[in-house]
Amino acid sequence: MNSSRLRILSSGPGVTIQDGGRHGFLRFGVTESGPMDRLAHRTANRAAGVPWDSAAIEVSLGGIELSVEGAPLAVAVAGGSFNVSLDGHRLPPAALVRLDAGRRLEVRAGTSGAWCYLAVAGRLDRTPELGSVSIHTRTSIGGRPLEAGTVLPVAELKTSDLDAVEIVAPWLDRSGENVRVILGPQDDYFNAEQIAAFFEATWVVSHQSDRMGYLLDGPNLSPAKGFNIVSDGTAPGSIQIPGEGRPIVLMADRPPTGGYPKIATVIGADLGRLAQLRPGQELRFAASSVEEAVSALRREVQTLAQPVTLRPLGGSLSAGSLLRQNLVDGVTDGEC
């Protein structure tokens, strides 16, 4: 049986492996981890022809360079508008490429976006920890961030004759929109003036942000009932207001509980958009409803249920490219 290995040639900080997440362990203090941008992660996996929750490499602004050893391997890249190149030749920021032995794929920060995903047409052969191979950066559950010299075996290869094609995924462009939130669960700790300030302010993503939480710079918020609450559970997108008054949006590696009032929660369909903001970028919040949040999530699921479109990079489609497109059959289990 053919075997293949990805060799990491260089890697910036914060490059990890993430699958659909580590579920079922919150009562033991272990949060899900998983991708910062779920939509981009699933798009890359869909383009690679593997299940949406498969393990993929999550690339931070530090970038990555890698090569393949052994059998050729197809790799899908999708996420922010990163600079992607194969042996020095520029590719679209969302592309499906064939890596033959010795070829180098490089992904670096580009014009926008903070995270990008590399999904393989196969399976990253890693031993799950607590049911997942996702790497939790604060505890090292699932392993440590990837670094130069790391070798990742790939099993269950899907063969491909293509060289490189573009992934047509217009839904990855989510710029220019407010981030929608649902107030609560402790919005009653804040008076009307503080709630208004939260929605009227232009917030800036701090350089102190990471996979655990995005710290926001802007006006200080001071809850009328004080900053301390009995610690309770958090959710992805919970917006805590600690004693200094600067909001913290809890992200993929969030703590399972928190003792600060949470003024609002980012809806699931918008959390990836927020995650793709770089330090120094601005955002505003907009009030949403549970019904709108559910509807937005359903639209996301419906988008990913459609076959992924691959477009040749000039010229006509080769027979191999056409065969490759058939790997994506449009079947989905409808889970989110």
Distance, in Å, from the CA atom of 42 to the CA atom of 51, rounded to the nearest integer, reads 8
- The pLDDT of residue 314: 66
Distance, in Å, from the CA atom of 258 to the CA atom of 71, rounded to the nearest integer, reads 47
For the record, the structure tokens of 156 come out as 């269950």
What are the b/e assignments for 39-65, b being 16+ CB within 10 Å?
A: bbbbbbbbbbbbebbbbbbbbbbebbb
Say if pTM beats, i.e. exceeds, 0.75: yes
pLDDT tens for the chain, 336 residues long, are 578 999 999 999 999 999 999 999 998 999 999 999 999 999 999 999 999 999 999 999 999 999 999 999 999 999 999 999 999 999 999 999 999 998 999 999 999 999 999 999 999 999 999 999 999 999 999 999 999 999 999 999 987 777 899 999 999 988 777 999 999 999 999 999 999 999 999 999 999 999 999 999 999 999 888 888 889 999 999 999 999 999 999 999 999 999 999 999 999 999 999 999 999 999 999 999 999 999 999 999 998 888 889 999 864 333 344 344 443 444 344 444
**What CATH homologous superfamily does 179-297 map to?**
Cyclophilin-like (2.40.100.10)
Distances (CA, A) of 237 to 75, 203, 215: 30, 15, 12
- The pLDDT of residue 326: 40
Distance, in Å, from the CA atom of 168 to the CA atom of 111, rounded to the nearest integer, reads 18
**Paired strand residues for 69:** 5
- The pLDDT of residue 322: 37
CA angle 61, 236, 75 (to 5 degrees): 40
CB 209 within 8 A of CB 246: no
Classify strands 203-205 and 282-283 as parallel, antiparallel or unpaired: antiparallel
- φ, ψ at 266 (rounded to 5°): -70, 135
SS (H, E, C) 61-99: CCCEEEEEEECCEEEEEEEEEEEEEECCEEECCCEEEEE
If DSSP codes are grouped into helix, strand and coil, which group holds residue 103? coil
Structural domain spans, the chain:
4-169+308-325, 179-297
